[in-house]
Amino acid sequence: MTTPKTFAGFSEEDARREAARQAGLPPPAADKGTGKKGRKKKAPEVPVVPAVPVPAPRPAVSPTANPAVFGIESLAKAVERVYKISGVKFMDNDYMMDFATSLSTAGTQNQEFWIKNAKAALGAAGSYVGCAPLYYSIWSEMYDHRHDSKFGALIETARKELVDSMNPRRIMTLSTITWDLSKGKDLVKHDAAACELFRHNADIKGAPGSLKSGLINAAPFCEAIFETGNVNEICSVLEWLTGKEAFLLRKDSSLGNNVTCPVIIETDSKFCYIKTAENLSAKAQALPVYVYDLRPSP
């Protein structure tokens, strides 16, 4: 009779296999946990949610800087291309702002993500997505000074960098329109730095088309979206900035009543679209901005 071997130094599973072998039995199944049929229970899948980047702290501004006097300078940044601009007229005040000509590294996201991004930016004095009139105030100020002997060359450099980032892409803003078919007036809200700055109530519905083609309600639409009803000026600024003709895409009846849509600026090979007819799940990239001493309207 053969004396069974001892199992000293064997793992528990190896010892069971050795015992079965000596007894002339088939090897036991491996111990795979306590789930059903001996299988280890699969951990539930967790949806991947993009992380909201927390911006780096912003350097202090010189106390002698004057937000009411126009000026523009390039700021040295490791990742972003950023400019500081002053003398920007926005919400009846003069502001100093930083604006990036390179896209946010957070990629293509919906407006809810960019709102969370703005909230994360507050604690670190970081940059965030702006509202539509904030972007337009920067672009129009650059347009007004494009021939300036001191700043014109740098403005053109910044414009070309913006074109490279915007064309052909979708740029998100923190402006929304709630289209109201029953009351006649639509609600436009503009946010920045995670707070509501101001709102408009106006009937701005109408057919899509080129902004300079005499569209119905074009002036009140522009006033509500960009804080100016000067249609010709907006056409000139956007065409100078992007090299494309401005085109409105407004309320689509298929969306239904009381639908809220983000304001998105999009360019393609022919037009610079002002899109206001997509639902809140729509995604777009972002051009970060920062406004010094931002003061919401009372």
Specify the pTM: 0.78
Tens digits of residue pLDDT in 163-194 = 999 999 999 999 999 998 776 789 999 986 65
For 235-287, write each residue's pLDDT tens digit.
Answer: 999 999 999 999 999 876 666 778 899 999 999 999 999 999 999 999 999 99
Mean pLDDT (whole number) for 215-231: 95
User: Are the CB atoms for 240 and 222 separated by under 8 Å?
Assistant: no
Label residue 227 left, alpha or beta by phi (over 0 means left) and psi (-120 to 50 means alpha).
left
* Residue 66 confidence (pLDDT): 77
Helices (H) and strands (E) in the chain, counts: 6, 13
Mean pLDDT taken over the chain: 82
35: pLDDT confidence band, cut at 50, 70 and 90?
A: very low
